[in-house]
Chains A and B, each alone.
Chain A
Amino acid sequence: MDLLEYQGKELFARHGLPVPKGVHASTADAAVDASETLGYPVAVKAQVLIGGRGKAGGIKIAKDGTEAHEYAGDIIGMDIVGPHGEGPFKVHELWVEAGSEIESEFYASVILDRSAKKLMVMLSRMGGMDVEAIAASDPEALVKQHVDPLSGLGEDEAKQIVAQAKIPEEVAGQVADVLVKLVEVSQAEDATLIEVNPLIVNADGEVVLLDAKVTIDGNAMFRHPELEELPESADQDPQEAMAKERGLTYVSLDGNIGILGNGAGLCMSTLDVVAQAGGRPANFLDAGGGSKAEAIIDALEVITSNPEVTAILFNIFGGITRCDEVARGIIEATNKIGLELPLVVRLDGTNSEEGLALLAEAGLSNLHHEATMLGAAKKVVELAGN
């Protein structure tokens, strides 16, 4: 789960990390109220889950109430496209923050290094810019250090990282302290990524975390009920929201062929073979292991709620999943929602003969059975049209 900037900063503040004072707002008037409380100048910042907000015009500094109102009004409702073309992300929320005078900008992050199976701390004195650009232009300016998985990051180690990154001595202690705490936050809050860019030194010589990108491990949400209650991004795709409610793993794509598979690997592979056959998948939907008839009905309802879908492919290889259960779900769902779209079904594995017999018996006119995965992909592309 990705946190918005202000959610990440609230997390930092709870762990005693220095962040600017700020107030959450979702209207221009509320932004002005917030600014009056904080005192000018303020930074009016769009809250979206994408980098490059500043360049896109999503962060503005307001000197007075008129500006705060104007900028907040401009930013709310703005569509922000990420630096690599991600999005657009519509802005619904603002974070209004006491302005900081920036003397210098650093970069700090803690990330799970899957290869090394350790957390890694990264620090650079060249903050405020794209970390990939730092790594490319001056690799030595980006110091990377693994954290011992059992003992964590000690103060002395943190100081060494700070020295190696050539952070000015006056603030070295403060920066080392930030690194130690960021590792603690990562471990305590199950954060697999924490990126602070920039980590600044203000005019008073204080080190402050000016941005926050935080990703929390979805498997650990049971330990963080307070995060679970955070509002969903209002931009969520309607099918994705519906699928989430029903406990299905669903990702929207922009094609017209609805796809259901069991198991993430087989489902991804199904998208690939449909694309290879010249088709355009409308979604990824993993019905999971042991799918029962009800899950199949839920899945079909989600897929068909997308008006773009012109044909559907079911690719099931039953291990724990029983094909007769899947067949029952298909028949019930077809009758319940009056499904008329062409439905191509490939059922293999546990109880596939029983499942195919059930489908044959039901005699659904929109249903096409194919024996192989590639055959099914070809068939559904043919039926979907463009």
Chain B
Amino acid sequence: MSIIIDNDTKLVVSGLTGREGSFHGLRNRDYGTQLVAGVTPGKGGQDVEGTPIYNTIRESVEEAGANTSMIFVPAKFAAAAINEAIDSGVETVIAITEGIPVMDMLPTYWKAREKGVRLIGPNCPGVLSPGKANVGIIPAQFFDQGRIGVVSKSGTLTYQIGNELKQAGEGNSTIVGIGGDPIIGSDFIDILTLFDADPETDLIVMVGEIGGDAEERAAEFIAAEISKPVVAYIAGFTAPPGKQMGHAGAIISGSSGTAKAKQEALEAKGVRVGESPTEAARIAVETLRSL
């Protein structure tokens, strides 16, 4: 058993009949993920290379036993698809779609929490449990099975770090791309909690970037609640400060959201932060081997 997805995952893909949805949904199936259904309203009864299509996610739950939904629907309609998934009876919703308006995500986020459905994303690369299941667009060939859990706001940066771990001879229990949008279903704290309780994970790598205060809050949480070692990397030290519109943002979070502030918050709580993806991977490998 790994976190979020594993051998028992039965995946339904909203948007499986679309170009991107079919490409990645079928790649996930080729990897070994149990792809049990696709959903496109009005196309029920058809199939995509042998995977049956249903009109609604609920039908796919009732008839094909789907327990995990992946959303590959265009941004304008994506929040409606996520809401449908939340109501359908699946346990987990992984939303890949980017560009969903914040005002659509606010009620959707609270709905998922209320119903106890785990939402990952949106605007994320998905989740990969090497050797078990892949849901999303993470290229599995750059990761090996192993004992390091990775949680990241950024897609390509995760591939970079995963690949460095692989080259150093280490692998991953699960890689979770949580997405970089202002409103995401699960943040660092949610995933750190899962990794901490996961018997297959010995160490956690956390990859953050500028904006918001999720890293600062994670730092507090790590110190208080997480028993496993955490290694971090933060991108964006040289990013230009955005043109500021008012100062209400800084008041709320109590943080400037800069990479430096995040690094300092993490280091103050004893989390080692790599200067580059390469260094973060090196520290992770060293720490893992000294356990």
Which A residues have a C-beta under 8 Å from some C-beta of B?
2, 49-51, 82, 84, 86, 109, 111-115, 117-120, 122, 130-132, 135, 142, 144, 149-150, 186-187, 190, 192-193, 195, 197, 213-215, 217, 219-220, 222-223, 251, 253, 261-266, 268-269, 271-276, 281, 284, 289, 317-320, 348-350, 372-374
Contact = CB atoms under 8 A, between A and B. Distances in A.
A193 B246 contact: yes
Interface stretch (B44-52, B80-88, B194-202, B236-244): B236-244
B276 interface: yes
B89 interface: no
A195 B248 contact: yes
Interface string B263-281: 0000000000001111000
5 contacts: A49-B245, A50-B244, A220-B103, A263-B154, A318-B139
Contact of A265 (B156, B214, B247): B156
B210 interface: yes
Complex A-B, nearest 10 residue pairs according to Cβ-Cβ distance, in ascending order: A265-B154, A263-B156, A265-B157, A220-B101, A195-B246, A266-B156, A268-B235, A269-B235, A268-B236, A271-B238
A187 B103 CA distance: 6
A149 to B, nearest CB: 5
Given A51-B244, A266-B160, A271-B238, A115 B212 contact: yes
A228 to B, nearest CB: 14
B76 A222 contact: yes
B265 to A, nearest CB: 13
B252 interface: yes
Contacts of B154: 263-266
B251 A84 contact: no
Interface in B97-129: 99-104, 106-107, 109-110, 125
A378 B207 CA distance: 23
B76 A264 contact: no
B29 interface: no
B277 A269 contact: yes
Contact of B249 (A111, A135, A373): A111
Main SS at interface, chain B: mixed
Among B159, B214, B275, chain A packs the most CB atoms within 10 A around the CB of B159
B251 A122 contact: yes
B219 to A, nearest CB: 13
Contacts of B6: none
B101 A251 contact: no
B223 interface: no
A262 B154 CA distance: 11
A255 to B, nearest CB: 9
A118 B113 CA distance: 13
Contact of A86 (B106, B207, B244, B259): B244
Nearest to B249: A111
B101 A349 contact: no
A220 B101 CA distance: 5
Contacts of B106: 117-119, 149
B102 A190 contact: yes
B32 interface: no
B239 A284 contact: yes
Contact of A350 (B104, B139, B183, B241): B139
B243 A2 contact: yes
Contact of B156 (A118, A149, A251, A262): A262
Contacts of B241: 86
B170 interface: no
B258 to A, nearest CB: 12
B237 A275 contact: yes
A275 B75 CA distance: 35
Given A115-B214, A265-B209, A319-B159, 18 more contacts: A49-B245, A86-B243, A111-B248, A114-B183, A122-B251, A130-B247, A190-B101, A190-B102, A197-B246, A217-B103, A220-B103, A223-B101, A261-B156, A263-B157, A264-B154, A319-B155, A373-B277, A374-B278
Given A49-B243, A219-B101, A317 B110 contact: no
Contact of B100 (A118, A219, A276, A349): A219
B276 A269 contact: yes
A281 B238 contact: yes
B142 interface: yes
Contacts of B249: 111, 193
Among B101, B107, B210, chain A packs the most CB atoms within 10 A around the CB of B101
Contacts of B156: 261-263, 265-266, 289, 317, 319
Contact of B138 (A193, A219, A319): A319
B252 A272 contact: no
Contacts of A275: 237-238
A276 B259 CA distance: 14
Nearest to B98: A219
A220 B102 contact: yes
A245 B116 CA distance: 43
Contacts of A284: 239-240
B276 A319 contact: no
B41 interface: no
B247 A117 contact: no
Contacts of B252: 111, 113, 115, 120, 144
A159 to B, nearest CB: 22
Nearest to B122: A219
Contacts of A251: 239-240
Contact of A372 (B101, B139, B246, B278): B278
Among A84, A113, A119, A219, chain B packs the most CB atoms within 10 A around the CB of A219
B228 interface: no
Contact of B157 (A217, A253, A269, A372): A269
